[in-house]
Structure 1
Amino acid sequence: MDTIASLFSFITTPVSWIIVQFHKVYGALFGDDSGWAWGLSIVSLVVLIRICLIPLFVKQIKSTRNMQVLQPKMKAIQERYKNDKQRQSEEMMKLYKETGTNPLSSCLPILAQSPFFFALYHVLSSIASGKKIGAINQDLLDSARQAHIFGAPLAAKFTDSAEKVASLNASLTDVRVVTALMIVLMSASQFFTQRQLMTKNVDLTVKTPYMQQQKMLMYIFPVIFAVMGINFPVGVLVYWLTTNVWTMGQQMYVINQNPTPGSKAQDAYLQRVLKSVTSHGQVRGRTRRKMVKAIVAKGPDRNDIERKFITGLAKLGLAAQEDGTVLKSDTAAAEAEGAAHKRQQPKRQTKAKRQTAATAGGAKDTERGTAGSKTSLQKQDASQDDKPKSPGKPASGSSRQAKSGQRKGPQRPKHPSKK
């Protein structure tokens, strides 16, 4: 711990100073020794850090989307140079440079807040040990040791012994109940954040191993947080739970306002825009106009969701403009009406339905063939009955009545010697 503290000593003092400043504000409202004063100070520290990290979060979103788009090209490079690792790496770096993509950008927010996390962890550990650190003097140290959140001290951990918890004026049951509940909430928020990203804000037209990796992380990360959480002090759990909730809300906002092209979120967003245009006759809001402008600029490269949006505007007699606005257009309405009257292709039937139809058709053909053969036989019999019977030939009925063993038809006369 001393080694880690020395590594992060450059940030331990600023973190402790920020907490102390927030504690002065909340202490005036809830009391200096109140758990709410210290807990809200930690929450405010998280909010301040995450506000400063918003530019990195924007870069993370762009990098993640670019990585999704580049997955097919990356896979092709891997297949082409699978026996030449050096050439494969060179082509990958060339692809990243051409597209302006940095694979590490998706990890920037986590890497940027890691020093603050370890600094806060060391500050709380020092409070639990009764040691002064940074801007926390002896009076603040005693106040922090007396602060409890729902009966659990800020410096207590799930794995602490009963004696250590008792030294912080708390019971082991309260500490474990509070920490277990916070660990569950922390893991659940992490899972929900990753799940809404995978189910709503992913381009459904891109099927790559990258997507499978993201699905695995959706289940692995909550487990990692749960295992690590039992060794975190209550104050650190407050910090991590707050940052997870912030990430979840921030991501929800991005999904609703700036969805990934080709995703379910984009479909829902454009449906809302279309509904607003139907009601007001125009695209309201700078963000929405920017989205429409980007769709118009794509031209024939639009995805199915974007084409459906343009068609919806045309049905309303509107045409999207290059600046993101919409104008009345009789041509667009006529084209939409003509497209609606085009003959639609019949829906392809499943294999089982085709086999059933073929079997039924074969049975009908067999019945028609049988009926036809019966009809032809009847016609032949009728034609034979209508023909005149020659006197030298016996009737067909008499031939059928001939005894068995006798030769049908006219008999040759016997030789005179055999009479």
Structure 2
Amino acid sequence: MPSFLDAPVSGAYHLVSWLATTIEPLGGPYAAALAIVVCTIAVRLLLLPLSLAAVRGEKSRSVLMPQIQEISRRHAGNPERAQREIAKLQAESGTTLFAGCLPMFAQLPFFWVLYSLFSRTVVAGESNHLLAGTLFGAPLGVHWPLFASTPAYVGLAVLLAVVACFSARRQLARLHETATPMSRNLARLLPFGTLVTAAFIPLAAGLYLLTTTTWTVVERAILLR
């Protein structure tokens, strides 16, 4: 790993270690796992302005959807003109499709740091003692091969599936009635991508995924009422 990328991982190591030490009197062996949850919540609070912008964009797109569908129908034989007209409509309304993706993209650096933190045995020039943290007996640095023998991974997979179900239902409910079958299938299946991701990342990163996706479902349920 390039040396300049060591700094954020080292910083995260010291922060999570401090939180785990602070929580340990109450959290016991789950202190490191709880520290990850606390850090995830802090990240989501930090990104709340982007989440609010995404919600405003989603509401605006819902209002514009009938007009977008009409433009697509009217210029079905000229896709380039349809794209120009839709882009113009979105520019005039002050909304873009990209706005809804901002919270997800903004989290990628944090997710990468957490993945790196629990994938390295040495961090900041010392042994990574965070790897000794456990969740229901499973080390936080464990990967997919121990899935069958680790209740923590089974529980994580079940909870991710439950959250994905709620997310898929919400997305399907908010699709316009004229949405294409492909759009509906994507809305139904994409939330379950977290299950696939969890199969290739440390348990700690899976815990981050569970916490942030749960936050998203609850946040959208509140803000999009």
TM-score range, shorter chain: 0.7 to 0.9
Larger radius of gyration: 1
3-state SS of 1:119 partner = helix
CA distance in 1, matches of 2:10, 2:183: 36
Change (3 A) 1:219 1:79: closer
1:344-359 equivalent positions in 2, closer than 5 A = none
Which of residues 144, 160, 177 in structure 2 aligns to 1:186?
160
Q: Which TM-score applies when normalising by structure 2?
A: 0.85
- Deviation track 1:61-80 (CA, whole Å, cap 9, x = no partner) reads 11112212222211222222
Which of residues 210, 216, 219 in structure 2 aligns to 1:247?
216
1:71-90 equivalent positions in 2, closer than 5 A = 71-90=65-84
Which of residues 231, 238, 253 in structure 1 aligns to 2:207?
238
Q: Which residue of 2 aligns with 1:298?
A: none
Q: Which residue of 1 aligns with 2:143?
A: 157
3-state SS of 1:232 partner = coil
Q: Does 1:146 align with 2:137?
A: no
Aligned residues with identical type, % of pairs: 24
CA distance in 2, matches of 1:241, 1:88: 39
Q: Which has the higher contact order (CA 8 A, sep 6+)?
A: 2
Q: Judge conservation of contact 2:167–2:191 (CA < 8 Å) in 1.
A: no
Q: Tell me the amino acid that sits aligned with residue 192 of structure 2.
A: V
Deviation at 1:43, TM superposition (A): 1.1
Deviation at 1:9, TM superposition (A): 5.3
CA RMSD of aligned residues (A): 2.7
Q: Which residue of 1 aligns with 2:21?
A: 27
Q: Judge conservation of contact 2:171–2:188 (CA < 8 Å) in 1.
A: no
The gaps in structure 2 that reach 5 residues or longer are none
Q: Which residue of 1 aligns with 2:179?
A: 209
Q: Tell me the amino acid that sits aligned with residue 13 of structure 1.
A: A
CA distance in 1, matches of 2:31, 2:193: 30
Q: Tell me the amino acid that sits aligned with residue 219 of structure 2.
A: Q
Q: Tell me the amino acid that sits aligned with residue 252 of structure 1.
A: A
Q: Judge conservation of contact 2:37–2:207 (CA < 8 Å) in 1.
A: yes
CA distance in 2, matches of 1:174, 1:13: 35
1:254-265 equivalent positions in 2, closer than 5 A = 254-255=223-224, 259=225
Equivalenced residue count is: 224
The gaps in structure 1 that reach 5 residues or longer are 161-171, 260-419
Q: Which residue of 2 aligns with 1:40?
A: 34
- Deviation track 1:181-208 (CA, whole Å, cap 9, x = no partner) reads 2022112112213324544xx48xx522
Deviation at 1:50, TM superposition (A): 0.4
Range that drifts further, 179-188 or 221-230: 221-230
CA distance in 2, matches of 1:41, 1:91: 48
Q: Tell me the amino acid that sits aligned with residue 77 of structure 2.
A: N
